[in-house]
Structure 1
Amino acid sequence: MEIRFVEQDDRALAQLSQELDSFFFDLLGAVYLEYQPHNTLSGLAGGVVAYEAGEAVGCACWKPFDAVTAELKRVYVRPEQRRSGTARRMVAQIEQHAAASGCHRMVIETAKELDGAAALYLRQGYRPLPEGFGPYIGDSGSLCFEKEISDGTMR
């Protein structure tokens, strides 16, 4: 497996992001349309695409949330590649990139229906953020998490 950093206009990233949108629409129906404005690729600070045998199989990105916080976005792995460690490796790359860019904290929101995603974040050291953050504060359809990603030094 190879993980490549990409720009926000990367074709593979756009394709995988569209697949993720379709997945969420199939899962949540019209409710997903309320979340769609938060899931664009504009404003990304970093993104990765995972490749297996030359085929794009997953993506993950981050956007600045505030001066010291990054928001993990668009984490997706194609169904046939799930449970292979792909998501774990992509998230770790994104965390390192955000930390190197001066962020100290990472936040992520996912749908409450996605037990596997929640378990992934918990295994990677994220803590539940019951009150939510940003547009997800008080959103009963969302699960939010946070993680300290810096080494404790100020940048």
Structure 2
Amino acid sequence: MTLTTSWQLAPEPFDTADATGLRRDYYDEVASRYWKRPATSEEIDEGLSGDGVELLTPPTGQFVVGRFDGEAAACGGLLMLDPGLAELTRVYMRPAFRGRKGAGLLLELLEAEARQLGACRMVLNTRLDLIEARSLYVRHGYREIPAYCTGPYVEICYGKDFATAD
């Protein structure tokens, strides 16, 4: 049996209808898991208001949307923290599309986009309860690092150096 995947991943403005829907779903899932109850539309609106997503556009960052068979399925962003250092952020895969190899493709594209913006290292912060995300990062070469930032949801940090061509 041959498993064919039909993923299309590309940079996309953070405010398109698909990107906005994915960002809302991302915030809904992480907030609901944290609060241990469903987030309300008002809470999602508040969480997305002023969240700095406008920085996820070159030269300060990038936002990527992944589609499976044409349907918006995943998103992720990167933010340049310093020359050479990018932060991975807002990585999300809609539940119906998990397990279809898209998350790894999403990380690969975000890393490539970070390298194009001059990054040689990627860092990220997350919560301990986001086990699936943490597992994904470790599978793709991210290792636990000391905290590089602070915040109420920063429970663990990871980093990855990019290989350089000689």
Say how many residue pairs are matched.
147
Q: Secondary structure at the match of 1:134?
A: coil
Aligned match of 2:78 in 47, 62, 65?
62
* Closer/same/farther in 2, CA of residues 52 and 140 from structure 1, 3 Å limit: closer
**Structure 1 unmatched runs, 5+:** none
TM-score, length basis structure 2: 0.79
When Rg is computed on C-alpha atoms for both structures, the one with the higher figure is 2
Q: Secondary structure at the match of 1:76?
A: strand
Residues 106-121 of structure 1 mapped to structure 2, 5 A cutoff = 106-121=122-137
**Structure 2 unmatched runs, 5+:** 1-6
Q: CA deviation at 1:5?
A: 1.3
* Closer/same/farther in 2, CA of residues 83 and 40 from structure 1, 3 Å limit: farther
TM-score, length basis structure 1: 0.84
The residue aligned with 2:158 is 145
| Match status 1:86 vs 2:94 | no
Q: CA deviation at 1:150?
A: 4.7
The residue aligned with 1:53 is 69
The residue aligned with 1:101 is 117
Q: Secondary structure at the match of 2:87?
A: strand
Q: CA deviation at 1:141?
A: 5.3
The residue aligned with 1:134 is 149
Identical amino acids, percent of aligned pairs: 25
Q: CA deviation at 1:11?
A: 2.2
Residues of 2 paired with 1:10 and 1:84: CA distance?
24
The residue aligned with 2:3 is none
